[in-house]
Amino acid sequence: MNPIVHIVMFGWIPVVIGLFSVLKPRHAVITSFLVAWLFLPNAAYPLPGLPDYTKISATCWGIFIAAALFDMENLARFRFRTLDVPMLVWCLCPVASSLANGYGLYDGLAVSLRQTVTWGFPYFIGRVYFNSLEALKELAVGIFIGGMVYVPLSLWESRMSPQLHYNLYGFYQHSFAQTYRWGGWRPMVFLSHGLMLGVWMMSASVVGVWLWATGALKDIRGLSMVWMVPVLVLTSIWCKSTAAIAYLFGGVAILFLSRRIRKPLFIILLLAIPLLYLPVRATGMWDGGEVVSFIAEHVSEERAESLQFRLDNEDILADRALQNPLFGWATWGKARVYDEEGRDISVTDGLWIIAFGNHGLVGLVSMTLAVLMPVFFFVRSYPASSWGDPRVASAAALSLLLAIYMVDNLLNAMVNPIFIVTAGGISGLPVLQAALKRSEAVRERVVPGEAAYAPRFI
């Protein structure tokens, strides 16, 4: 780790405040999150009694300070809604977990604050700044631009090996042994793992394809989507993440098929995957053998062995979690499995099994609902026939990405604040639209068809 790390990390909060002074608040938020996530080092500074200082915590603190200075009126508009309950429970449940395991209130509050900074703050920022279709479109365009910016960097690392983070900041963000795939290098750029990069590039590609296909975005500063989207999609494939490639093609297919049949059937089936997987795996009702066999036969033996390893560890970790099912074992390693000599013999990959082990059913259910409830609400509020409308296309693509993100979290534990911001933004949509429901009805009587894609309220 070289001095540049300390300079950019501790200089980031003033930069965020500076962005608010020269940009519109929403644009400053988008720029702050994307630049921090895509380019700041994967470093963490432990602070006594406080959550670690990371690039995301620095971004959130910077946004709150800047909003208090330049945009307090917008912050004051926030109103807590029922849809926010799962995120609140997810942020507070560490207190119950710590108390239930005898660690005390101070420990619980410390872990709860850490969870709030990681999850609650980005969600709240999304609720405040991205609670409209127009705002979500700006966020979606920002994600697409972030993917395009990463295209040359990803291609460079796929040829020269993942070295950018090391060359600039003086350390590797992850084991170099996991960077070789398909006879070549799998890039990481400035993210924490090649898998995380694959999901990021997939997300930008899905957004780009849908915005282009629906006419919501035709060019960016004169650069046509006709050539940018294919370049981004091909680069995403070249990032060599098998799951991310499947998400890419599956996600695009879901959007096109949903528009064609004018029903949300396929995204509901996607949402059903984690909702079915979690109970059958947590209780040991299903061992996943059929999927392992399918992958071994149609993909590769190596991928099948990797999946089997994850499933085997999930089995022993789920057994351990079921010994304390309501609030879990808290966060001091009690959720892990040890042999008779006290050696840790468990490996935690999926975010769900970590949540289940540490915070029990309360944590697992609240975390899952915090991400999936906004998708359910969007699907319920906006008919699938409207997803191809340029005004709704961005929200549709982002809702799909949230569903894909939860599917990915079944096997990986890579918290991405951009998705959490998105969940907050989509959760805010009903709030804004409910306030405008009457005016939209009036406008529809005056200008027939203008409010054709207003959400249905039930």
143-153: pLDDT as tens digits: 999 999 999 99
Asked if the model's pLDDT at residue 357 lies above 50, the reply is yes
What are the angstrom distances between the C-alpha of 267 and each of 23, 88, 140, 162, 277?
A: 36, 26, 19, 35, 16
Separation of alpha carbons 23 and 19, rounded Å: 6
Look over the chain and give the mean of its residue pLDDT values, rounded to a whole number.
89
Asked if the model's pLDDT at residue 439 lies above 70, the reply is no
What is the crossing angle of helices 133-160 and 393-408, to 10°?
50
User: Is the separation of the CB atoms in 42 and 190 below 8 Å?
Assistant: yes
Identify the residue with better confidence: 84 or 443.
84
If one counts every other C-beta atom within 10 angstroms of the C-beta of residue 221, the result is 5
Nearest C-alpha neighbor of 127 from the set 73, 71, 74, 56: 74
- pLDDT band at 349, cuts 50/70/90? confident
User: Is the separation of the CB atoms in 101 and 94 below 8 Å?
Assistant: no
Separation of alpha carbons 164 and 1, rounded Å: 13
Sign of CA dihedral 176, 335, 339, 305: negative
pLDDT of 237: 95
- pLDDT band at 299, cuts 50/70/90? confident
Sequence-distant (≥ 6) Cβ neighbours of residue 146 within 8 angstroms: 34, 37, 38, 200, 204
Write down the pTM of the prediction. Answer: 0.90
If one counts every other C-beta atom within 10 angstroms of the C-beta of residue 322, the result is 15
Asked if the model's pLDDT at residue 4 lies above 50, the reply is yes
User: Is the separation of the CB atoms in 358 and 391 below 8 Å?
Assistant: no
Domains of the chain, residue spans? 78-278+350-446
Nearest C-alpha neighbor of 75 from the set 86, 61, 64: 64
- pLDDT band at 430, cuts 50/70/90? low
| Bridge partner residues of 338 (DSSP) | 344
What are the angstrom distances between the C-alpha of 282 and each of 67, 203, 355, 357, 380?
A: 42, 28, 11, 10, 28
Per cent of the chain over pLDDT 70 is: 94
Taking the mean position of all CA atoms in its chain, how far away is CA 41? 19
148-177: pLDDT as tens digits: 999 999 999 999 889 999 999 998 887 777
Asked if the model's pLDDT at residue 445 lies above 70, the reply is no
Rg of the chain in Å (alpha carbons): 22
Nearest C-alpha neighbor of 245 from the set 309, 184, 197: 197
Identify the residue with better confidence: 449 or 205.
205
What are the angstrom distances between the C-alpha of 42 and each of 15, 33, 120, 152?
A: 18, 14, 20, 20
Nearest C-alpha neighbor of 172 from the set 40, 57, 42: 42
